[in-house]
């Protein structure tokens, strides 16, 4: 077996092999850490033509929302809706319908703000006729059934028409509080 080669053959071969294996592994395994910063001002959910129904503990539908477009921003957990149509059917309250150009829903829909033109319709209930309010920049709190605004609005209830700047409509108490320069007119029913 007198094969030429120093007696140091084995250790040398092994060191070379292990050295190269370790170097290769170190190079192969070094992945640049992902540079993506989870920028939270970018939306993390976008939905087109959405119909959202939320059910209460008893399984009855609480609110029905249809919107042309929904986008959710993780920063502040804000959801923006385009051409939203909201219908609240909470128990013990007359049905509330709100339609607007855009809406911003905050903390899981417990507070919704409608910038721009808004129409709100509160269904008739035993004691009261149907109330329709056309206004701007309206705040709606579905759980408490309160809608309010600081901007000028026109409210129509049964045969009365009221104009004011700012109002608070409380569905539970079925009240309508008008803030300032209120003008009211009565529109007789034409009996032609």
Partner 1 sequence: MLFRKSLIQEMSWVALGTFFVLLMLIMTTQIVRLLGQAAIGALASSAVWAMMGFAAVRYLPILLSLMLFFSILAVLTRLWKDHEMVIWFVSGRSIMSFIRPILEFTIPVVILIALLSMVLSPWALEKGQEYKEKSLSRQEVTQVAPGVFRESPAADRVYFVENFTGGNGNNVFVQLRRDEKLTVILAEKGGLYLDSDGSRWLWLAKGRSYEGLPGTAAYETLEFENARLRIEAGDPPRSSTSTRATSTMALWNSALPEHKAELAWRLAIPVSALILSLAAIPLAFFNPRGGRASNLLVAVFAYFFYYNCINIAQAWLSDGKISLMLGMWPLHAAALLITLGLFAWRSKLRGS
Partner 2 sequence: MSLLSRYLMRELSLFILFALIGLLGLYTFFDLIAELTDLGIGGYRLSDALIYVALRAPANAYELLPIAVLIGGIFGLSHLSGSSELTVIRASGVSLKRLLLWLCLIGAFYGLITLLLGEYIAPAGKRMANQHRLAATQSMLVGDFRSGVWIKDGKQIVNIAEMLPDLTVVHARIYEFGKTLTLERVIEGHNGRFQSKGNWTLQKATVTRFLPEHAGVALSKPAVFNWQTSISPAMLAVLLVEPAQMSATSLLSYIDHLKRNKQKTSRYELALWGKLFYPLACLSMVLIALPFAQSQRRSSNAGVRVFIGIACGLIFHFSNQIVVYLGDLYNWPPPVVVSIPTLLFLSAAAFMLWRQERR
Sites of contact with partner 1 (CB under 8 A): 1-3, 5, 7-11, 13-15, 18, 21-22, 24-26, 28-29, 31, 33-36, 38-39, 42-59
**DSSP per residue over 7-47, as a string?**
TTHHHHHHHHHHHHHHHHHHHHT-PPPP-----TTS-SEEE
61 binds partner 2 (CB under 8 A): yes
Query: Which residue number, 39 or 191, has a Cβ lying nearer to partner 1?
Result: 39
Residue 117's DSSP bridge partners are: 136
d(CA 153, CA 4): 103
Chosen residue from 20, 40, 42, 60 binding partner 2 by CB under 8 A = 60
How many helices (H) and strands (E) the chain has is answered by: 1, 11
Q: Site residues for partner 2, window 8-47 (CB under 8 A)?
A: none
Interacting partner of 127 out of partner 2, partner 1, none (Cβ under 5 to 8 A depending on kind):
none
1 binds partner 2 (CB under 8 A): yes
Q: Are 100 and 114 in contact (CB under 8 A)?
A: yes
Binding site for partner 2 (CB under 8 A): 1, 51, 53, 55, 59-61, 64
């Amino acid at each position: 077996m007198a094969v030429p080669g120093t007696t140091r053959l084995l250790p040398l071969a092994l060191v070379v092999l292990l050295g190269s294996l370790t170097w290769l592994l170190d190079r192969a395994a070094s992945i640049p850490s992902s540079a993506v910063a989870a920028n939270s001002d970018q939306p993390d959910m976008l939905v087109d033509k959405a119909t959202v129904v939320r059910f209460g503990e008893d399984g009855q539908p609480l609110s029905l929302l249809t919107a042309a477009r929904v986008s959710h921003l993780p920063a502040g957990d804000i959801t923006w809706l385009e051409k939203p149509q909201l219908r609240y059917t909470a128990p013990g309250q007359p049905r509330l319908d709100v339609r607007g150009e855009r809406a911003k829903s905050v903390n899981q829909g417990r507070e919704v703000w409608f910038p721009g033109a808004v129409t709100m319709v509160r269904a008739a209930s035993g004691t009261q006729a149907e109330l329709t309010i056309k206004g701007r920049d309206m705040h709606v709190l579905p759980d408490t059934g309160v809608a309010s605004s600081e901007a000028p609005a026109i409210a129509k209830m049964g045969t009365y028409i009221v104009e004011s700047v700012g109002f608070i409509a409380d569905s539970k108490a079925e009240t309508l509080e008008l803030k300032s320069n209120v003008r009211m007119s009565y529109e007789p029913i034409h009996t032609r």
